Chains A and B, each alone.
Chain A
């Protein structure tokens, strides 16, 4: 079913209702075109796959190794998602609904791992826990010869979980903060224990938030190349990368199509969880926050959990980076260009632009999906998630080809790079914007309309201020993930344009690890600031 068919269907339904639904039609058109634009790099994939003869296609598809890699990928995604929920949800509950000490500090600490690029995290873990790593060196004199291998599935799961669980933490926390406390109180008056009230009242309301975070974790895991590559674990991204650079685009595209297929499966699974009666669950009717759970004797014990996570995810990588400072081999000390602050500025510039464009593109998608009627309304929004699950190298080559053939005047400019970031990271902006739109009572808007405000003005005056926090958080998420993106940046950056990640890649290539420390710390520092923006939005809805 083509997009235009969909829009027709949507518009037919609207025509049956009211004349003002012309607006909705415009919205649908906008959303549809954004979705199509975002999917263009994937057309290149499909186009490349066309050239594969059917028997070769089947032969590759039915290989044992293909099945093994599919299994590896699925196991990795499931494990990382499950573990992220197990870490993210308790942390969210502890920081939002209990009397654990230093809740503000731990909120920041729990969210921060998201700013560490997973390839730097993976590198740090290998340096620390690998054979001949720091830990092995410490244990060797104690007579411990062998430590369990960090390589493979185990290491990949640990690293990806530690650096992506904040998605679940942030979305769950946002849901917790917007829960209608009166329903919890009602349950308590009906003789439910705290636990039972949590299970029967709070948890159902949290589900959409948890699911939204889990979706981001699952799709990020699907698209991440750096971690499995460093951990030597064979998943789709690694194969796609190897094949693409070996100029076997046909095979790479087959695996990319499989990857997109997996994405669709995950999206379907998520929508079954999330889209159940959310309108009532999500709408915030001038909430009273549910009462704080008193931990009593466990107050201080509870802090051990966030502390342990922070030690692994936040203390370890910088510590390893600092040990690198002394690790340059002397004769290579001059091997790489010296670090310049311009690289940091370039990173901020392209990531900032990507954040701005993503927010604008996300608004129609999110609004249509949150307020539109029927399944079709959320199609454009769902479609935007596909780019997020496709590895950067594919988006990169797809855009390279599209830019060369369709918009040659843009080729080699920042525009193409920014667009690549939008393709990869738009869903993050859509997700946060959508959930804040859902929390706006539509009756407010109708009230404004009956008072004679034109729809756009009503939107600007009533809805926008209420959804601003979600928009800002979305922009910050896009910003910090764009700061980290390596593959697409390397491929699409203009001539002579270096960013923090391309510089880190270069010094690592030249094996001058010492010179990677400063830019990596700068990258983490700048991204951390954008994380504070995300948490800052809670000013709007935390009444402490």
Chain B
């Protein structure tokens, strides 16, 4: 039960956010993130902070540019991006009220940057976030839901697995159809209990000095037997996204084949790392020839050190090219029902999606927003046909990983 023109019954309409958003602009970029890549010119020429001109159109145009630059990251791989298409934040109802967010671990800090911008845009809106590892949060939410003591309105998770787990526990409420409408069906739970907000593809980062892309098999199942990859790869078995990948393999190929694959990879001398950023970094320095990692870690390495010989290889239609999403679910408690839903709608606006695409190098959920760099678009990737919610079934996966002696 929600209205689509406001988050509180205080009679706000879209008329009201013009002045308030302009106030935000006049403050000259309140948000702490800076990085106004080449867009400051719009404000050049004697803009002395007087925000009273009656020229709404010019102000709106400036605001739009400002907003995009505010949301956009910076760096070599972002040159010449097209403007993002899709539902603009401008056309959404105001946010007002206090929102409590369980923020699943991962790129938590970056998410907060976005929330801070929203706080700056909407003077009546404030949020409190509690960052923790997603899997721990899912377990905690399950415990809280059983005793009816949920502490937050929204759960943002690093992966669909944890979202599926809290849906299973009956801890969630469906999002409105309007909120999830622009997102492709693969990234929306069938009953709208969660929605993807940013995508991540599994990929094989490889060192282009040491390997040629033709050295890399198109099937992830062929990797253990690929000669050039012996004693030259790394993985991060304790990392959630890696476990999701193994879960996907289990669902697609079966338990026995997956166990065999894990054992073969170890026989091929794969090394364990603590996280996938370290793997991508190690590949770029030549410590490793290749590895298993989410695609954006390589982008991150390249944006910091553009000259490193690092590229991404995507396998075809198997677990190795799984696209998982960070997503949001509304937690089933009485407070803030409307606010939480409209908040998620903001995360799916063109501006916010531009933010995810350019700052976290994620795959945007809106068809109108391009992924960064020379990443293939989400429809060019040959992703496996898998229900992401099934990734919540991690138990047998940890069994396999333990049995194989990986964990």
B residues 115-133 touching A (CB-CB < 8 Å) = 128-133
Given contacts A331-B304, A510-B108, is CB(A247)–CB(B142) below 8 Å? Answer: yes
* Distance A502 CA – B129 CA, assembled complex (angstroms): 13
| A506 within 8 A of partner (CB) | yes
CA distance A241 to B135 in the complex (A): 11
Are A245 and B136 interface neighbours, CB within 8 A? Answer: yes
Complex Cα–Cα for A393 and B133 (A): 12
B197 within 8 A of A: no
- A527–B131 alpha-carbon span in the complex (Å): 25
Distance between B298 CB and nearest chain A CB, rounded to angstroms: 13
Neighbouring A residues of B287 by C-beta, 8 Å = 131-132
Q: How far is the CB of B230 from chain A (nearest CB, A)?
A: 18
B151 touching A65 by the CB < 8 A rule? no
- Chain A 221-261 interface 0/1 with B at a Cβ cutoff of 8 Å (1 = within): 00000000110101000110011111111010000000000
A251, A329, A336, A491: the one contacting B109 at CB < 8 Å is A336
Which of B33, B110, B403 sits near A63, CB closer than 8 Å?
B403
Minimum CB distance partner of A509 in chain B: B105
Say yes or no: B151 contacts A495, CB within 8 Å.
yes
- B109 pairs with A512, CB closer than 8 A: yes
Q: Cβ of A2 < 8 Å from any Cβ of B?
A: no
List chain B residues, Cβ under 8 A from A286: none
Bound: A239/B402 CA distance, A = 9
Question: Pick the contact of B151 from A242, A247, A412, A512 — CB < 8 Å?
Answer: A412
B136 pairs with A495, CB closer than 8 A:
no
The interface bits of chain B over 68-92 (1 if a CB of A lies within 8 angstroms of the residue's CB, else 0) are: 0000011100000000000000000
Q: Is B112 an interface residue (CB 8 A)?
A: yes
Extra contacts, 20 of them, besides A132-B287, A335-B113, A401-B143 (Cβ < 8 A), are A63-B402, A65-B403, A65-B405, A242-B407, A243-B398, A244-B139, A246-B243, A247-B138, A248-B394, A251-B398, A331-B300, A334-B33, A334-B35, A397-B139, A404-B146, A490-B132, A495-B100, A507-B109, A510-B108, A511-B300
Assess whether B139 is in contact with A247, with CB atoms less than 8 Å apart: yes
User: Given A247-B139, A247-B142, A331 and B359 touching (CB < 8 A)?
Assistant: yes
A101 within 8 A of B: no
A272 to B147, CA, bound (A): 45
Question: Which of A332, A334, A509 has a CB less than 8 Å from the CB of B106?
Answer: A509
Among A229, A238, A408, A493, the residue within 8 A (CB) of B147 is A408
Q: List 6 A-B contacts (CB under 8 A).
A: A238-B407, A246-B398, A330-B75, A331-B300, A332-B110, A397-B143
Total interface residues on B, CB under 8 Å, equals 57
The reply to whether the CB of B238 lies closer than 8 angstroms to some CB of chain A is yes
Taking a contact as CB atoms under 8 Å apart, the answer to whether B274 and A229 are in contact is yes
CB distance from B160 to the nearest CB of A (A): 15
- B32 at interface, CB cutoff 8 A: yes
Q: Is A304 interfacial (CB-CB < 8 Å)?
A: no
Kindly list the 10 A-B residue pairs having the minimum CB-CB distance in the complex, ordered from nearest. A336-B109, A335-B109, A245-B135, A510-B109, A329-B304, A496-B128, A246-B394, A404-B147, A334-B33, A246-B398
CB–CB A335/B107 < 8 A: yes
Q: Mark A320-336, 1 if CB is under 8 A from B, else 0.
A: 00000000011110111
Q: Does A405 contact B (CB under 8 A)?
A: yes
B238 x A334 contact (CB < 8 A): no
Could you tell me which residues of chain B, from 271 to 317, have a CB within 8 Å of some CB in chain A? 272, 274-275, 277, 282, 285, 287, 300, 303-304
Say yes or no: B73 contacts A509, CB within 8 Å.
Answer: no
B395 interface contact, C-beta 8 A: yes
| A506 with B128, Cβ < 8 A, contacts A330-B304, A404-B143 known | no
Residue B149 at the A interface, CB < 8 A?
A: yes
Q: How far is the CA of A124 from the CA of B405 in the complex (A)?
A: 27
Nearest CB on B from A65, distance (A): 6
CB-based nearest A residue for B281:
A132
Chain A residue contacts of B131, Cβ below 8 A? 502, 506, 509
Collect the chain A residues with CB atoms within 8 Å of residue B238's CB.
Answer: 229, 238, 242
Interface membership of B4, Cβ < 8 A: no
Q: Is the CB of A248 within 8 A of B35?
A: no
Chain A contacts of B143 at CB under 8 A?
A: 397, 400-401, 404
- Which of A230, A329, A331, A512 contacts B274 (CB under 8 A)? A230
- Against B, the Cβ 8 Å flags (1 = close, 0 = not) of A489-507 are 0110101100000100011
Q: Are B165 and A247 in contact (CB under 8 A)?
A: yes
Q: How far is the CA of A517 from the CA of B245 in the complex (A)?
A: 33
Task: Determine the distance from Cα of A68 to Cα of B406 in the docked complex, in whole angstroms.
Answer: 12
Quote the shortest CB–CB distance from B10 to chain A (angstroms): 24
Q: Which residues of B contact A142 (CB under 8 A)?
A: none
| Residues 321-334 of chain B, each 1 if its beta carbon lies under 8 Å from chain A, else 0 | 00000000000000
Interface 1/0 per residue, A115-138 and B, CB below 8 Å: 000000000000000011000000
Say yes or no: A246 contacts B395, CB within 8 Å. yes
With A404-B147, A506-B131 known to touch, is A337 a contact of B274 (CB < 8 Å)? no
A511 to B139, Cβ gap below 8 A? no
CB-defined contacts of B165 to chain A, threshold 8 Å: 247
How many angstroms from the CA of A412 to the CA of B34 in the assembled complex? 35
> B407, A334: Cβ atoms under 8 Å?
no
A367 within 8 A of B: no
Chain A, residues 338-350, CB within 8 Å of chain B (1/0): the string is: 1000000000000
Residues 50-83 of chain A, each 1 if its beta carbon lies under 8 Å from chain B, else 0: 0000000000000101001000000000000000
- Within 8 Å of chain B (Cβ to Cβ): is A411? yes
| Among A232, A248, A397, A502, contact of B272 (Cβ-Cβ < 8 Å) | A232
CA distance A245 to B134 in the complex (A): 9
B307 to chain A, nearest CB (A): 15
| A239 CB, min distance to chain B CBs, angstroms | 7
> Contacts A246-B398, A336-B109, A404-B147; is A495 near B303 (CB within 8 Å)?
no
Q: Are B394 and A335 in contact (CB under 8 A)?
A: no
- B126-182, CB < 8 A from A: 128-133, 135-136, 138-140, 142-144, 146-147, 149, 151-152, 165
- Do B282 and A242 touch (CB < 8 A)? no
Which residues from chain A contact B277 at a C-beta distance below 8 Å?
Answer: 511
The distance from the CB of A326 to the nearest CB of chain B, in whole angstroms, is 12
What's the least CB distance linking A117 to chain B, in Å? 16
- Closest Cβ of chain B: how far from A57's Cβ, in Å? 14
Per-position binary interface string of chain B over residues 376-407, scored 1 when its CB falls under 8 Å from any chain A CB and 0 otherwise? 00000000000000000011011000110101
Residues of A within 8 A of B152 (CB): 495
B300 touches A506 (CB 8 A): no
Specify which of B33, B136, B394 lies most central, judged by the most chain A CB atoms within 10 Å of its CB.
B136
Q: Are B140 and A400 in contact (CB under 8 A)?
A: yes
B140 engages A491 (CB within 8 Å): yes
On chain B, the residues within 8 Å of A245 by CB distance are 133, 135-136, 139
Which residues of A lie under 8 Å from residue B397 when comparing CB positions? 246
How far is the CB of A378 from the nearest CB of chain B, in Å?
A: 35
B230-244 contacts to A, CB under 8 A, are 238, 243
Q: Which residue of B lies closest to A327 (CB)?
A: B304
CA–CA, A249 to B143, complex, Å?
Answer: 12
CB nearest to A404 among chain B residues: B147
Contact (Cβ within 8 A) B149 A335: no
